Amino acid sequence: MTTLTRPVDRREFTYQGQRYAYEPNTLRFHPLDRDNERLARHLNEADRLHTGSREVPRGGISFITLNVAHDCNMACPYCFAKQGLYGGRERKLMDAASARKSVDWLFDQAGEKPEVYLRFLGGEPLMNVPVIREAARYAEEKAERTGKRVYMSINTNGTLFNAEIRQLLIDHRMTVSISMDGTQAAHDTFRIFRNGRGTHGAVVRNIQRFLEIDPCTMINATLTASNMDVDEYAEHFRGLGIQLIRYALVGTAVPEIAVAQEEKLAHLLAAYDRLAVSYRNQLLKGDVWYLADFYKYFDNFRNLEKRHNRCGAGTAYVNVDVDGNVNLCHRFTTDGTQRVGSIDRKTVDVPLGIRRREQGDPTSASVPSGPEVSQLTGQPGVRALKLLGDAEKPKGNAVPAHLHKQLDGTPFFEQTDSTAGVKNANVCSGCDIRYVCGGSCFHDGEILYGDLFGGPDGFKCEVDRHLSKISMWLLDTIFDHDPGLLTRLDELHLRSQQHHAE
């Protein structure tokens, strides 16, 4: 097996007609055809600050999604929760005792961490308002006794609203995140009631009610092969008064739903380009709103902060299902393959590789392989890796499932099957944004390759790579025009963090 090498110390790329140089190992970047003195000074200061060390509060899991309802009034075909049932045979709501015990478990797990995050999830969580109220009340009492701060949010499909819901959100200062996929045509493609009727009209009617309670109500939009016009959807959301927006590619291996074809990918990236230009123009005119997709890598590039893992699943975050089972994340709850504990137990049995893995390393003794992967997934998986030379291209009309490229467009290897357990074959180690995105998603590895460490979804990689370019281009523009815009964006980001703790 050929050993993968790290990317070169410097890359050059062009975005929106601007040429940039980027250093994968330091995350520094700068425009090539002109100087941006304010950006250079800022990065020099960030570099100086990184010479010091920051004390991180000791503790473990400080964020849970609490499934108060394995039930839903909708039947979305792409739903990771299988229409809210999470693979179960019966619809079920969490009881108050289990909710209180889940809160106790969260506070115990957090250790010395000063903040805990509790997000109510379903199915549709607003089908169980009494238990949400009891859990929220109990969490607030617990926070006051322990001296911690608790942030509570709710992820809803936006179709339900009444006086009881309104009072719940007001009484407990709960932030709201609504799942909405775009314009009526885009949204109603998959987001449907059980009778097959689209839900866009119901969501639009309720958005103003949610905004009256939480002006920073956030929209979460799922992108599929059928809805990718992010610029059009952003304009729609903004017209409804939304300030916080986040897009996410659907997590599925179903080819009709996933963005997993070259022409679909090209369509999406072109839409992001149109949105980037529009977003920049609005910012420069003082119309400041938050798009998580563009902001999410700002801290990496402006503060030179490296990510060594994609997310905190199993280390800072877990999901608790309606029966009190603890799962690696909410996406694993349906199949039950990554059940790592219970609210009846203090310990969390997270696989060693997840706790230690640094995805930027070409090899690591802590990355599970062989029997360990087999025990986790029930199958060893087929593994294949092919290095590509700078000039080598796929032969014929066949397009590989995953053709990984650098920022300058150079392919560095083709992944056709899982690379889990193959020595010197960590896909992410050869990538020049490995310290930006942090690596591959465990759930993607399982659904695409049959194991947690099978590697990333190459189409999602291409989107992340493109968003990295957009982030650097936007930061260059902001520092050149008005760095004060970042303060306003940071404030909105803090609001978004109450929806999505990391």
DSSP string of 400-417?
Answer: -SEEEE-TTS-EEEEE-S
| 371: Cβ contacts below 8 Å, ≥ 6 apart | none
Residue 206 burial (CB count, 10 A):
19
| SS3 state at 187 | helix
Contact 473, 15 (CB under 8 A): yes
CB atoms within 10 A of CB 458: 22
Cα–Cα nearest to 41, from 404, 414, 302: 302
DSSP state of 329: S
pLDDT for residue 366: 37
- β-sheet bridge partners, residue 222: 248
Q: Cα–Cα distance between 184 and 240 in angstroms, integer?
A: 13
Phi first, then psi, for residue 247 (nearest 5°) are -105, 150
Candidates 415, 460, 451; CA nearest to 433 is 460
E strands, 339-459, in order: 339-342, 385-387, 402-405, 411-415
Q: How far apart are CA 168 and CA 191, in angstroms?
A: 25
Comparing C-alpha atoms, which of 72, 160, 65 is closest to residue 118?
Answer: 65
Residues paired with 304 in a beta bridge: none
Q: Which long-range contacts link 17-24 to residues 24+ away (Cβ below 8 Å)?
A: 18/473, 18/476, 20/469, 20/472, 20/473, 20/476, 22/407, 22/432, 22/472, 24/432, 24/433, 24/434, 24/435
CA distances from 309 to 79, 357, 442 (A): 25, 7, 10
Identify the CATH homologous superfamily for domain 63-309+491-497.
Aldolase class I (3.20.20.70)
Query: Among positive and negative, which fits the CA dihedral 398, 399, 402, 406?
Result: positive
What's the confidence (pLDDT) of residue 254? 81
pLDDT (0 to 100) of residue 18: 97
- For the chain, the first-to-last Cα distance in angstroms comes to 35
- Give the three-class secondary structure for 394: coil
For the full predicted model, state whether its pTM sits above 0.75.
Answer: yes
Instruction: Compute the distance between CA of residue 126 and CA of residue 133 in angstroms, rounded to an integer.
Output: 10
Cis preceding-peptide flag for 123 (omega within 30 of 0)? yes
Q: What is the pLDDT of residue 21?
A: 97
* β-pairing verdict for 69-70 and 92-93: antiparallel
Asked if residue 316 lies in contact with residue 60, where contact means CB atoms within 8 angstroms, the answer is yes
Q: What is the C-alpha to C-alpha distance for residues 29 and 472, in angstroms, rounded to an integer? A: 7
pLDDT tens digits, the chain, 502 residues: what are they? Answer: 333 445 558 999 999 999 999 999 999 999 999 999 999 999 999 988 875 445 555 668 999 999 999 999 999 998 887 777 777 778 999 999 999 999 999 999 999 999 999 999 999 999 999 999 999 999 999 999 999 999 999 999 999 999 999 999 999 999 999 999 999 999 999 999 999 999 999 999 999 999 999 999 999 999 999 999 999 999 999 999 999 999 999 988 787 898 888 899 999 999 999 999 999 999 999 999 999 999 999 999 999 999 887 888 888 999 999 999 999 999 888 888 889 999 999 988 887 667 655 655 655 433 333 223 223 233 333 333 343 333 333 333 333 456 678 898 887 766 667 766 665 567 787 789 989 998 888 888 888 877 787 778 888 999 999 999 999 999 999 999 999 999 999 999 988 876 544 3
Domain boundaries, the chain: 13-50+465-481, 63-309+491-497
> If residue 93 lies in a helix (H) or strand (E), which one and from where to where?
strand 92-93
The set of residues, in sequence order, having a beta carbon less than 8 Å from that of 323 and lying 6+ positions away, is: 92, 98
SS3 content of the chain, % helix, strand, coil (to 5): 40, 20, 45
Q: Kindly list the strands in the beta sheet with 218-223, ordered across the sheet, starting from the edge strand earlier in the chain.
A: 290-291, 244-249, 218-223, 175-179, 149-156, 115-121, 63-67, 317-320, 325-327, 339-342
DSSP state of 192: B
